[in-house]
Amino acid sequence: MVREFELPDVGEGVAEGELLRWRVAPGDAVSEDQPVAEVETDKAVVDVPSPVDGVVEELRATEGEVVPVGDVIIVFRVEGENESDETAVTPPDDATSESGSQTDDEATPQPTGDAPSDPAVTQSVQVPAPPSVRRLARELGVDISSIADSSSGRITESDIRAYASESSTQERSNQQTAAAGQRDQQSAPAQSVSSAQMQETADRETTVAVPKTRHIAAEEGIDLNTVPTDERKDGEPFVTLETVREYAEAHQQAQKTDREAVARRAATDEPARPESRKPYTGIRQTIGSAMTESKYTAPHVTHQDEVDVTALVDARSALKQAAEEHDIRLTYLPFVMKACAAALQENPQINVSLDEANEEIVEKQYYNIGIATATDDGLLVPVVEDVDTKGLLEVAAETYEKTQKARERSLSPEEMRGGTFTISNIGGIGGEYGTPIINQPESAILALGEIKKKPRVVERDGEETIEPRHVMTLSLSFDHRVLDGADAAQFTNAVQKYLRNPNLLLLE
């Protein structure tokens, strides 16, 4: 029996995924739960498992293609089951009947003969549209396959609404054309306006037109007194709806021609420069959408300060060898993570998120810290949970493991969820200050600058001296809807306290 398998929702409510790589080919035998494809969605790459034991019959998607959830991506032939004229569809675990089911009318065989079959019921048509768009098409009575014939990409809700509006307008236009034809038969024949005349512009003081024509002209931004016409009514120039539409179309075409001519001249004048393009898809597109939403939803304010971390540098040097004996790479980041967890406990107003739907501020009594990690494909944020309850070496080991998985693109979606606060270590690349964008729904993010030696005034036994000290810069961006500048300053001061004297972390 042949079974079609639809792309499942491999994330949390995602609408589509990019098929990165097929792990099987037609003719390969597969077992249930065997990975057959790698799909990139949201911020992770996941394996798509086979739902059955069988043989790969056909691959319906190509590598690099963005496939909507619910579309068939692979066909299996299952041995040991009765053959059937109908093809069984294996839906994703949480798929609904909206994306792939057919009504009784759609499944009815079409009669053979000279009459062409209805494309709306041809099962082989693959319409690139998610379930929500298909549902809207049914509600508006739109044949989605008709749009697919004229569209070069994925069908969206805007396409459906535009097609429905165009169909409604065309139907009204046909009715008006028929009525106008009847009126023309009752009145004296009038000479039509040629396309050449449409290129010209009239200049009259008065024009007769029905209200509908005036309404359409206003929508198109056309002055009726400028529309050429040879028709007259009651001795005055008369403009029909059809004439206005033809004039508007000719006017738009002339503008398009002018723009193209200007573009050609600009291209001719501008010397060719070497450049290349690559698709804006996958993780890069997801990051862009998330950053845009955060920046234009939460009013960002950044509080910046610096801290003397000479004692921290000494402490890390003393513990580094002991950590290596446990096969653990000890950096400054675990110290900062522990310091932030302790500071969040002292300043619980920072460890919050805003629930806009319920108009509530959610205070969290757990401390999960995300680490912004640069990868070849963009920024990923693995989360280390319950930092406050874990030892320094445990935090160091888990942080290293998850950041490595992020760079290797092997992080699971679960390992990037549940964060309450994020740290971005720009100092590892080189840089002191920044204005990081909040990782919503969190309310704050801390950027760490590079540790540099700087001259500082040091007081000992009542005497002040200038000495070279190790200094780290801090940049805390926060959501001003739920936090104020005083909150940010108090939290940053608490972080400084633990970084200046890391021995205090032993008391936590």
Q: CATH number for the domain including 65?
A: 2.40.50.100
338 with 483, same domain: the answer is yes
358 with 424, same domain: the answer is yes
318 with 249, same domain: the answer is no
Instruction: Provide the number of structural domains found in the chain.
Output: 3
Q: At which residue do the structure tokens 């950041």 appear?
A: 403
359 with 249, same domain: the answer is no
* pTM (2 d.p.): 0.56
Question: CA 81, 86, 90 angle in degrees (round to 5)?
Answer: 70
**Cβ atoms 452, 270 nearer than 8 A:** no
Domain end marker among 77, 93, 109: 77
User: Per-residue pLDDT tens for 418-447?
Assistant: 999 999 999 888 888 999 999 999 999 999
For residue 475, what are the domain limits?
Answer: 301-506
309 with 417, same domain: the answer is yes
> Is 66 part of any domain?
yes
Tokens of 106: 């759609």
Distances (CA, A) of 201 to 204, 208, 221, 430, 486: 10, 17, 14, 64, 66
Domain end marker among 28, 46, 77: 77
> Is 461 part of any domain?
yes
- Report the alpha-carbon distance of residue 60 to residue 168 in Å, rounded: 35
Cβ neighbours of residue 318 under 8 Å, at least 6 residues apart? none
- Report the alpha-carbon distance of residue 153 to residue 172 in Å, rounded: 29
Q: Across residues 441-463, what is the average pLDDT?
A: 94
User: With 70 as the cut, is the pLDDT of residue 293 above it?
Assistant: yes
Q: At which residue do the structure tokens 């990923």 appear?
A: 380
Q: Give the other-Cβ count within 10 Å of 265's Cβ.
A: 10
250 with 362, same domain: the answer is no
pLDDT of residue 7: 87
**Cβ atoms 356, 440 nearer than 8 A:** no
**Residue 144 or residue 19, greater confidence:** 19
- Greatest mean pLDDT among 201-215, 239-253, 463-477 lies in 463-477
To the nearest whole percent, how much of the chain has pLDDT over 70? 76
- Greatest mean pLDDT among 252-261, 268-277, 336-345 lies in 336-345
User: With 90 as the cut, is the pLDDT of residue 307 above it?
Assistant: yes
> Is 313 part of any domain?
yes
pLDDT of residue 2: 86
User: Per-residue pLDDT tens for 178-194?
Assistant: 555 555 454 434 344 44
Segment among 33-47, 333-347, 390-404 with least mean pLDDT: 33-47
The chain-wide mean pLDDT, for the chain, equals 81
> Is 58 part of any domain?
yes
What amino acid occupies position 250?
Answer: A
User: With 50 as the cut, is the pLDDT of residue 88 above it?
Assistant: no
User: With 90 as the cut, is the pLDDT of residue 217 above it?
Assistant: no
> Is 366 part of any domain?
yes
- Greatest mean pLDDT among 7-11, 208-212, 235-239, 394-398 lies in 394-398
**Residue 286 or residue 354, greater confidence:** 354
471 with 329, same domain: the answer is yes
Segment among 26-35, 107-116, 124-133, 345-354 with least mean pLDDT: 107-116
> Is 92 part of any domain?
no
To the nearest whole percent, how much of the chain has pLDDT over 90? 44
Catalytic residue numbers?
Answer: 480
320 with 220, same domain: the answer is no
Q: CATH number for the domain including 394?
A: 3.30.559.10
- Report the alpha-carbon distance of residue 77 to residue 61 in Å, rounded: 17
379 with 450, same domain: the answer is yes
Segment among 150-154, 167-171, 359-363 with least mean pLDDT: 150-154
> Is 134 part of any domain?
no
- Report the alpha-carbon distance of residue 84 to residue 88 in Å, rounded: 9
Domain end marker among 37, 58, 77: 77
User: With 50 as the cut, is the pLDDT of residue 500 above it?
Assistant: yes
pLDDT of residue 267: 64
- Report the alpha-carbon distance of residue 426 to residue 449 in Å, rounded: 6
User: Per-residue pLDDT tens for 115-126?
Assistant: 443 333 333 334
At 210, which helix (H) or strand (E)? none
319 with 446, same domain: the answer is yes
**Considering Cα of 328, then 330, then 336, then 338, what sign does the dihedral take?**
positive
**Residue 455 or residue 268, greater confidence:** 455
User: Per-residue pLDDT tens for 385-418?
Assistant: 999 999 999 999 999 999 999 998 888 889 999 9
Q: Across residues 355-372, what is the average pLDDT?
A: 96
User: With 80 as the cut, is the pLDDT of residue 231 above it?
Assistant: yes
445 with 311, same domain: the answer is yes
pLDDT-based confidence at 28, cuts 50/70/90? very high
> Is 96 part of any domain?
no
68 with 216, same domain: the answer is no
pLDDT of residue 109: 43
pLDDT of residue 16: 82
User: With 90 as the cut, is the pLDDT of residue 342 above it?
Assistant: yes
